[in-house]
Structure 1
Amino acid sequence: MFICIGGDLDGEVVNNRDGTFFKASEIDTSKESTYNRQSYIIGKNTYRFWLCAELTYAETTKIANDYLAQKHAYLS
């Protein structure tokens, strides 16, 4: 599952995308954000996100970590 972090599609799940990035306008022409694919491996699980390119990597990583900490308490 690919969850968008930040930007126009924040919190939405966007699956079935090829490549390492996409523009939100490909889904909704009124949207402008660009997203980069990022995977986080925790134990045997791989979590996939689309990180908004307009935010810093530090910002999006913090949000992804907060999400992952809900599933893995030791990350909080």
Structure 2
Amino acid sequence: MFICIGGDLDGEVVYDREGTYFEASEIDASKQSTYNRQSYLVGENIYRFWLCAELSYFEITKIANDHLAQKHPYLS
């Protein structure tokens, strides 16, 4: 997936990033957010997101779970 959650790039899909984090300014100089890569395992599927470092763990987890529940309704 590689969907950005929160911050300046919220909802955008960002591929071609190496490492475990990146700055939104690498994509658009006017953006300020920092993103950390997080993987979620659901059954045998691995889903990857870019999570905004400025959001709380609670907020990020809720949003990521909402995205995953769209693909796997039994999670909601």
TM-score scaled by structure 1?
A: 0.97
* Matches of 2:46 and 2:58, distance apart in 1: 20
Match of 1:16 in 2: 16
**Secondary structure in structure 1 of the residue aligned to 2:32:** coil
Tell me which amino acid in the other structure corresponds to 1:15: Y
Tell me which amino acid in the other structure corresponds to 1:32: Q
1:6, CA displacement in angstroms? 0.2
* Aligned residue pair count: 76
TM-score scaled by structure 2?
A: 0.97
Question: Is it true that 1:53 corresponds to 2:64 in the alignment?
Answer: no
* Matches of 1:21 and 1:9, distance apart in 2: 14
Match of 1:41 in 2: 41
- Give unpaired runs (5+ residues) of structure 1: none
1:74, CA displacement in angstroms? 1.4
Runs of 4+ in 1 over 4 A off after TM superposition: none
1:44, CA displacement in angstroms? 1.1
Match of 1:68 in 2: 68
Instruction: Calculate percent identity across the aligned residue pairs.
Output: 79
* Matches of 1:61 and 1:4, distance apart in 2: 13
